[in-house]
Chains A and B, each alone.
Chain A
Amino acid sequence: MDDIKTVAKELLTSGKVNAVIGYIRYGNDKRTKPFIAQKPEDVDKFVINNFILNNLAVYLTRKEVSKLGKVAVIAKGCDAKAITALIQENQIKKEDIHVIGINCNGVTKDFDIDFNSENIAGKCLNCDVRTPKLCDSLVGALADIPSGEDLKLKMIRGVEAKNAEERWDYFEDEFNKCIKCYACRQACPLCYCEQCIVDKSIPRWIESSATKRGNFSWNLIRAFHLAGRCIGCNECERACPMDIPLSLLNRKMAMIAKDEFNYDAGTDMNAPTLVGSYDLKDNEDFIE
């Protein structure tokens, strides 16, 4: 299997792409940061390890990146799903990007902690895309990864067991922590709107201050806007400085999309999107 540096260097020297988005070490060896390499020598700094947490797909819709022309991007399986979804939603064109997929051996929950069975990110536990489905080149080799307990699923089951009122109270408490920093939105590869609905002022649908009402409507509307779209990279939750368990909503919606409509977001760039398409055979019995 080719080495990331070789592949990235070849892409840049041959002029196939104008930039490669990858990861470089940052601070200690349990931390990386995204880096846009525009010169072949820049790629020497590239690393691939269990600390490449960022979903680099988020940069593909940024104006600063799209003006560079054709770019290559390093993608874990989950990140590649985001790229697939972006192509599906007309945000990028497949021919404008080169996806360097990596055989992923899991990542940590967060920076600065050791990678082990306790700290492996929840999304990696039952990952079915350790080799990305969408990639133009593939680097790295698969190795055994630690197993661990899927705590988030346990939390989802816990919330499911609550009655409507208890669920409301639970989320009200969680959302109350929100400081409206919008880090979730910034980290999300699928939050690409030019102007987010929360920034719309005539009329103001969502109260933008961090009040109970404003927090509730923001977090719920964001979840709804990701229904059938969230590919589960969990970057929003990692980005949240207040530790709001955002994945409970996103992942539960993805589970519903799968159960009710047999839809997996980000798996097929030519598939009709779940929202915005319908089939006469669609399950309707949940409509009351």
Chain B
Amino acid sequence: MSIFVDDDTRVVVQGITGGEGKFHAGQMIEYGTNVVAGAVPGKGGQEVAGVPVYDTVDEAVEAEDADASVVFVPPAFAGDAIFEALDTDLDLAVAITEGIPTQDMAKVNKRLSETDTRLLGPNCPGIITPGEAKLGILPGNIFADGNVGLVSRSGTLTYQVVDNLTERGIGQTTAIGIGGDPIIGTSFIDALEAFEADTETDAVVMCGEIGGEDEEQAARFIGEHMDTPVAGFIAGRTAPPGKRMGHAGAIVSGSGTGTAQSKIDALNDAGVPVGDTPEEVADHVEDFL
């Protein structure tokens, strides 16, 4: 079992003719993902990474029966690309693009609330169900099939934690990067809810970071609705207020909301052990299993 993607997922890559899109489409296919088409305006009829390219997502879905998309479109056009995915009624759209203006995402967010499509990201590494499918840029070789679910706001931090788990022989059901932007589609709670419902996920790792209140809300959700044990990690304990720490969403406000301590406290209150180091997170997971 897994959540959101598996070997039946049929993927269209938006922006497949660009450098990133082309490279990662190839990597996804190599991993075994069912990439069935690309979509790039003006490039219909071409073939990239062995799959046909269409001018619109609509055409690609029509012709190749795709049900998910991965967006590798530059920030200025990415909002539009996500709208196109949402308006095509896909099951899942994964937006990798970093640097989409927040006001564009506010409009996307409004449209998202009117559709049944799940959006992952933007500014995320994507999602992987080891051995079945990966949609995004995650390095497939560090993951292993197993029974731990992982949800994180950051890419490389995810890799670090997964590496610690895999090294100990602990594999993953599905690993999800939800993205480091202030406005994102799938939230921690959405992912946690799905892991809770997944019969093969025996433990969950949640990696949060400073900024916003998603981690606090997730902590309340864990306390009230989850039986599956969760181990946590929060990045940004040493971040000064008012400074954007790389991710557009990783900022402690001047009033002191969004601090690492508030998130750690909330998780601890919900019975979630929070590691001081990535190694400690792996220790907690090992204890659960």
Decide if A and B are genuine partners: no
